[in-house]
Amino acid sequence: MIRILFFFLLLSAISCSTREKGSPQVYFAGEIVNPTSNFVVLYKDDIEIDSAKLDANNRFVFLLDTIDEGLYNFKHSPELQYIFLEKGDSLVIRLNTTDFDESLVFAGEGEGVNNFLLEMFLTSEEEESVIYAFYEDDPEEFSRKIDSLRENKMSLLLEVDSQYGLSDNAREIAQASIDYNYFIYKELYPFYHKKRKGMEEVPDLPSGFYAYRGQLDMNNKHLTYFRPYYKFINYHLGNLTYMQCMKDCDSHDQRLESYLHFNKHKLGLIDSLITEKALRDNVFRHVAIDYLLKVQDKEANNIEFIETFHKLSGNNRHIKEIDNLYQGIMNIQPNRPLPDIELTTVDGRNVGLKEIAKGRNVVFYFWSGTQKGHFDNIANRVAELSDEKKEYSFVGINFNTDEARWKALIESKGLDKDLQFRSDDYEHLTSTLILYPMNKAIITKDTLIVNAFANLYASF
């Protein structure tokens, strides 16, 4: 499990440190092969703690005098990975950005738990397709297979603990890295089994299927920002909401209207079950963003949802973000005028969104030069639609691309330059027009919105 590190890096890095043996300081250093940024940034939860600039040899060093022991993240943009830090740790890493997670390895004091966490992360990714096939099995067989995989990892944890003598905190996070991934599979099982088997209802489950729920800690502060735990909490709440609605509520067999009911019910469950502030705020945020962005519900339902959200989570630390998203969505409802956004033409003139749409039927679509595959697909799809739907002008809006590359990409696909525009302000563009999902399109008649949540593939 623990792969070979270039030990000269460890030895040279530690020999250059002034840290004394037995010191409560934490030493974290490493080498980045093929760097994609000049910095490594260290986060505790979602707060930046420190940053270190790469030197001429692409190496970095953190020397932390005091730390809050526990789970951290280090980021070498755009990649992010966990690191578990305790007082006295001396950790060195080496990684290659062309294969970031797979090439990463830890050495030094604290290597045991960190290499274990990394191995669990990689194994979980590898197992997903295998476990997906298990969803066809009956509940007993599914549990047997899942439990067998979990036991293998538990045996590995015992070996790591025996070799390194993990602390209680390190053992807790290592155990969580095993448990919550498998708990997620259990929470998903009834829904995936129903889908795979073409069933009308979710299957009946044996009485002990969710036995782990009896020991759950729904308010574990140490795990709030640990991805498997956070994902589990969200799936668990979705499962509970669905099962309770099926049992107790009258609206479970409606379609569009049920989304509002379901998500209001989920907000109520969060309010009753989760008290740990950061976790509570994050889970409330997850439900709000998921509902507002993905459901694309009618205006009256959006209003009712946001009123419930404010009632139950009005002091949420993400409230401004949620309110801005809600307001942005409300501003682009059908029959509303297009927002005022300034764009740039290929010949360098500034032009407003309304001016582009005035007097014609327009389908606005969006692309970025940083996503070449997506751009190729979009350009091909627009070419098809332009031939089939001649009543529309298909207008491209580019973002996150420098001017020279933007023009070169337009030329490469032979796009009509009169129908291509660019924005320099991605934040304003995405918050005003709600650029989700990737294939989003906005259909307009004159300067009025017909459908701001159309899809280039599904809506035509």
For tokens 């764009």, the residue is 343
**Overall fold of domain 7-109:** Immunoglobulin-like (2.60.40)
- Show me where the domains of the chain are located: 7-109, 120-330, 342-455
Looking at residue 16, its pLDDT comes to 47
3-state secondary structure of 67: coil
Which fold is adopted by the domain 342-455?
Glutaredoxin (3.40.30)
Pick the closest to residue 272 from 216, 236, 218 (CA basis): 218
- Report the C-alpha gap between 318 and 305 in whole angstroms: 16
Residue positions counted in the chain: 460
Token pair of 163 as six digits: 């070799």
Number of other CB atoms surrounding residue 361 within 10 Å: 14
**Measured distance CA(123)–CA(113) in Å, rounded:** 15
Residue 95: name the closest of 109, 110, 114, 113 by CA: 114
CA-to-CA distance for 387 and 380, rounded, in angstroms?
Answer: 11
d(CA 59, CA 30): 6
Place of tokens 């360098």: 348
Alpha-carbon gap, residue 67 to 79, rounded angstroms: 23
Question: Which residue, chain included where needed, has tokens 């250059």?
Answer: 16
Distance CA 27, CA 183 (A): 34
CB 9 within 8 A of CB 58: no
Q: What is the pLDDT of residue 249?
A: 77
Distance CA 426, CA 432 (A): 10
Q: Tell me how far CA of residue 338 lies from CA of 321, 334, 394, 397, 430, in angstroms.
A: 22, 10, 16, 14, 14
Q: Given this model, what pLDDT does residue 1 score?
A: 41
CA 28 – CA 111 distance, rounded (Å): 11
Q: What is the pLDDT of residues 214-254, one digit of tens each?
A: 999 999 999 999 999 999 999 999 999 999 888 777 644 44
Burial status of residue 190 (CB atoms within 10 A of its CB: 0-12, 13-18, 19 or more):
buried
Per-residue confidence (pLDDT) for residue 5, from 0 to 100: 43
Q: How high is the pLDDT of residue 245?
A: 86
Per-residue CA distances from 249 to 21, 46, 376 (Å): 62, 37, 46
Task: Name, in order, each residue with C-beta under 8 angstroms of 129's C-beta and a sequence gap of 6 or more.
Answer: none
Q: Is the pLDDT of residue 49 over 70?
A: yes
pLDDT in tens, 141-184: 999 999 999 999 999 999 999 999 999 999 999 999 999 999 99
- pTM for this structure? 0.89
> 66 falls in which pLDDT band (50, 70, 90)?
confident
Determine the pLDDT at residue 452: 96
Percent of the chain with pLDDT over 90: 88
